[in-house]
Amino acid sequence: MDPEITLTALRDFCADRLGPQVATRFVGLARPGFELTEAEPGQAAGRSRFGGRALLEPGTPWPTCDGFPLSLLAVLDTDVLAPWLGELLPAGTGLLNFFVLDGDSEQSDPAACEVALAHQSTDPRVGRVIAARAAHAVETRAPARSSVFEPVPWAASPGFSLPDAFDPAWDSLARSPGAEHLDSYDIRTALSDWPEQPGALHADDTAFGRPVFPTGSYPTVPAGEDPNRYHHLLQLSDHHEWSIGGEGGWMHWSIPTDALRAGDFGRAIPTPDHW
């Protein structure tokens, strides 16, 4: 698949249902991303996977929250994904390791729950994203009390995603000329056959693109900050060995877009969706 060809096909698809003017503005909200599914042998997206050991550069400290070790949930091999993402990532970003304070899974240490109770689920300290140059990264054994999940290699299918129904990105579209009387419901009704469009992302587990919030919410970012200035990194549904806790939920990580372009993953934050 070619990103420009796919985006043009997406625009044509939407223009047939929304008209060319609204379609152009609507497709302007599309972001490139990937559907993540369990890979068949030989089909994995580089070293991308759920679970397993962290892939860190030697000397990188294991992340902690109040001294308690976080647990690795996933790795994305961005060197494989980068061609579809254009200039979104700095060259050579390598591997992204996604950590979280595991106070809920069957493997979690009882003390982790006590630490988690002292923090909001969106506190940057309970989730961390650490980049590692692929040529230098080595499998790193988790410290004691950190959960280790069975590795599941991921295949990554490229496409484009658009905001879900309650994403603040819709506000900018509603203010566009010719779209003043359209809202997310109107557009999604007109695009009811959206999953049939080649290149449309509609998976439960995704990398980059835009997040889906089944509860009808949207990314929670620090007070006073504009969620439209953040970019989605990873979405994990509740179909995994790990659990977000409570009745369930999906895990997300987001990052300010300027930090993403600069490769400053220390500014990534957890943006979970509980129910």
pLDDT tens string 27-80? 888 899 999 999 999 999 999 999 999 999 999 999 999 999 999 999 999 999
Measured CA distances, 64 to 8, 68, 71, 159, 169 (Å) = 44, 5, 9, 34, 33
Of residues 24 and 85, more confidence is placed in 85
pLDDT exceeds 80 at position 257:
yes
Question: Where exactly are the structural domains of the chain?
Answer: 3-270
Q: 131, 140, 118, 136: which is closest to 67 by C-alpha?
A: 118
Mean pLDDT of 249-257: 92
260 three-state secondary structure: helix
Lowest mean pLDDT across 30-34, 148-152, 159-163, 195-199? 195-199
Q: How far apart are CA 57 and CA 73, in angstroms?
A: 17
Say if residue 179's pLDDT is above 60. no
> Residue type at 183?
D
What sign for the dihedral angle of Cα 82, 88, 93, 97?
negative
Say if residues 206 and 48 touch (Cβ distance below 8 Å): no
| CATH no. of 3-270 | 2.30.320
Low-confidence winner among 17-26, 201-210, 222-231, 240-249 (lowest mean pLDDT): 240-249
pTM of the model: 0.92
Residue 234: the pLDDT is 96
Indicate if the pLDDT at residue 198 is higher than 80.
Answer: no
Q: Which of these, 63, 81, 59, lies nearest to 72 by C-alpha position?
A: 63
CA distance 106 to 203: 25
Q: Torsions phi, psi of 225, nearest 5?
A: -95, 150
pLDDT surpassing 70 at residue 246: no
Helix 3-18, helix 20-27: angle, nearest 10: 140
> For the segment 92-123, what is each residue's pLDDT rounded down to a tens digit?
999 999 999 998 888 889 998 889 888 887 78
Region 130-148: what's the mean pLDDT?
Answer: 97
Specify the pLDDT at position 181.
58
Neighbouring residues of 224: CB distance < 8 A, sequence distance ≥ 6: none
50 and 152 Cβ atoms separated by less than 8 Å? yes
Q: Is residue 176 scored above 60 in pLDDT?
A: no
